[in-house]
Amino acid sequence: MYEILSKNLYIEGDKMKKIGRLITAMVTPFNDKGEVDYEQAKKLARALVDSGSEGVVVVGTTGESPTTVRSEEIKLFREIKSAIGDRATVIAGTGSNSTAEAIETTQAAEKTGVDACLLVVPYYNKPPQDGLYNHFKMIADSTKLPCILYNVPSRTVTNLAAETTIKLSQVKNIIGVKEASGNFEQISKIISGSRKDFLVWSGNDSDTLPMLAFGAYGVISVASHLVGKQISEMIYSFIDGKTEKAAELHRKLMPMFTGLFVIANPIPVKYALNQIGFKVGRTRPPLCEPDEKTASQIMDMVKKFKIDLPV
């Protein structure tokens, strides 16, 4: 099991690893046939690390987890970990609305050598808070991996209440939460009430700086595909006490933070990546390409920014 050493490190035996303040929720590249392009996925992971990401989430919502299959996911976990090694953290998206399936996927992911797992709140079946607690505890108890909870009620319908997150923070290998509720009162309660070394990442790029101000740790980002170095500078400017600089960067980046969500994620970010020359393919159905007006809106926004991703 893992002993938490500080706000950004955990240890397994004598091996210390950094979780990272800036983590990218990585898109899954597909080829022209709609198949996973593993070579391009490895290239993207390396490029993200080169442009400021301290970790990547593989097969999260941005990675189109609803339309990937188990064999693809496990191979992606293995390939991405082999591609970036110890340069950055690899976090496997292994959550499900089936507890048994989430346990099976998490255990399979652990065997690939990933560094942690991301567990989304079960979607569609709307479990009560006791059910959510039992779901996450059963998964955590089944693995040695550090587990990060993911609360995104706009996608799952169900909100993981602050009281439930606080209770789950007492489970030794549940090390943090990606909070995308946008509910600052709830997030403040989590930061105040959880164990001292429990980490809170923003799940919305536009919420990152405000959340840092009341004690969050970092962000699991979509915009970092394009402006990772600038987001990293914003985060570390704030951490270093350069709050005016952080605020200036936040204001500058806000059109990117909002513009990548004009339609369902990851449609805009995949479209933008393809347009700037980093080919990641189309989204899988039922997602689709943006219409002409939306596509123009996305690129009009992107063209106003310096792109950090190596292309």
Catalytic, 150? Answer: yes
Q: 42, 81, 167, 178: which is the annotated catalytic residue?
A: 178
Of the candidates 226, 190, 188, 175, the one whose C-alpha atom is nearest the C-alpha of residue 205 is 226
pLDDT over threshold 80, residue 111: yes
Instruction: Give 201's strand partners.
Output: 178, 218
pTM of the model: 0.94
Instruction: Give the helix ranges, DSSP H, for the chain.
Output: 38-50, 70-84, 99-111, 129-141, 153-156, 162-168, 184-193, 208-213, 224-239, 243-259, 267-276, 292-302
How does 31-65 read in b/e, with b if 16+ C-beta sit within 10 Å? eeeeebbbebbbbbbbbbbbbbbbbbbbbbbbbbb
56-70 average pLDDT score: 97
* pLDDT at 108 (0 to 100): 98
Domain boundaries along the sequence of the chain: 3-250
Domain 3-250 matching CATH 3.40.605.10: the answer reads no
218-241 average pLDDT score: 98
- pLDDT digit string (tens) for 179-218? 999 999 999 999 999 999 999 999 999 999 999 999 999 9
- Higher-confidence residue of 3 and 306: namely 306
Q: 10, 38, 133, 150: which is the annotated catalytic residue?
A: 150
